[in-house]
Amino acid sequence: MKHLFKRLLLTACFLCSAANITGVYAQTENQPDNGLMPLTMCVFDFVGVDGPVHKPMKEFALEALRWGVDLSFLVYTDDRIASEEFKNGVCDMLNLPGIRAREYNDFTGSINAVGALPTYEHLGMVIKTLSSEKASKLMRKGDYEIIGIGPIGAIFLFVNDKNITTPAHMAGKRVTVLDNAPETEYLAQRIGMTPVSSSIMNALQKFNNKAVDITGAPGLAYEPMELYKGLEPNGGIIRWPTLQVTMQIMVRWKKVPEDFGQKSRSYFANHYPAEIKKILESEETIPEKYWIDIPDETKNTWNETFRESRIALREQKVYNAKALTLFRKVRCKVDSSLAECTSKDRE
């Protein structure tokens, strides 16, 4: 079970932030003369060859054969290098964290908008919607097409004091802020927290070392990163997700058969329940004593803070306006009693 946690954490790290490791591992194969379209994918895997991302991509390659594509891989341990190689034409396909994928498609890159999708039910509805043929036009932007979206897990706030539960409580507190996630810095400034620039790995180390009071992390990070060190003696985890983390796969759509993208999106959408099951299993291993359940009035406060932040970030062109409208419709479909469903300034 411990190995499962490590595998999941490494996957989460790859989706939350660029690794501080550089390197590339090539897996090349001679392309057979079988009428299939040869395609190379830049795979970002924190571990490298046969890591937690590369392995499922090899399974995906078997499906791609049925869709007319013979897929080979170049595996990178730094998402920034993988992205640059993709831009330079070294590869035709690429996987990136949702936040990093935003530069290729700001619609799907807005899935991680703060508070936009509070549960895995909400996220599942969005992924199912975006995997439908009706949404296919939204998946293309310029030369690129998003052909797969997968869940990694919700980001929860880890605090070193269980009394820290509302935005007001967080004013003046030190919080980790990721360089490639402008929403985290915006929230820190809005709430009045003291931002501490971090990578995903040292963010958790800073929390454990008491260098910060608050950090965001998926529940699956708890055991392998020994986050109980930062939680002791009085800390906890607010059981109210700030955002959802996803893995996104993109391709130069002119390089593949016309129906390839649609088949691929359906493939990943169909795997959603199994992936969520793994995520939930990892979250359930966290001792109950650490979870902080907040009352409905506090949830309402957080919801309004998130909503106002999304609107502000929409105006700054960080989030896609149409995407935010879709997410609002999903939230209101799940709970039509929400105040935002009838608000004049709704998203």
Q: Answer whether residue 123 is part of any domain.
A: yes
Q: Answer whether residue 163 is part of any domain.
A: no
Task: For 59-99, write each residue's pLDDT tens digit.
Answer: 999 999 999 999 999 998 888 889 999 999 999 999 998 88
Q: Answer whether residue 216 is part of any domain.
A: no
Quick one: pLDDT at residue 320? 96
Question: In this structure, which amino acid lies at residue 335?
Answer: D
Quick one: pLDDT at residue 141? 95
Task: For 187-238, write each residue's pLDDT tens digit.
Answer: 999 999 999 998 766 888 999 999 999 999 888 788 888 999 999 999 999 9
| CATH of residue 127 | 3.40.190.170
Q: Answer whether residue 310 is part of any domain.
A: no
Kindly report which listed range (7-16, 130-139, 319-328) carries the lowest average pLDDT score: 7-16
Q: Answer whether residue 121 is part of any domain.
A: yes
Question: Whole-angstrom Cα distance, residue 54 to residue 247?
Answer: 13
Q: What is the pTM of this model?
A: 0.84
Q: Answer whether residue 188 is part of any domain.
A: no
Q: Which residues lie closer than 8 Å to 59 by C-beta, 6 or more apart?
A: none
Cis (ω within 30 of 0) for the bond into 233?
A: yes
Q: Which residues lie closer than 8 Å to 258 by C-beta, 6 or more apart?
A: none
Kindly report which listed range (164-173, 198-207, 235-244, 303-312) carries the lowest average pLDDT score: 198-207
Domains contained in the chain, number: 1
Q: Are the C-beta atoms of residues 310 and 319 closer than 8 Å to each other?
A: yes
User: Containing H/E element for 164?
Assistant: none
Q: Answer whether residue 298 is part of any domain.
A: no
Segments forming the whole domain that contains residue 60:
2-151+245-283
Q: Name the residue with higher pLDDT: 251 or 20.
A: 251
Q: Answer whether residue 128 is part of any domain.
A: yes
Q: Where are the alpha helices (DSSP H) in 106-165?
A: 120-130
Q: Which residues lie closer than 8 Å to 293 by C-beta, 6 or more apart?
A: 239
Please give the full DSSP string across 294-330, using - where no structure is assigned: PPHHHHHHHHHHHHHHHHHHHHTTSS-HHHHHHHHHH
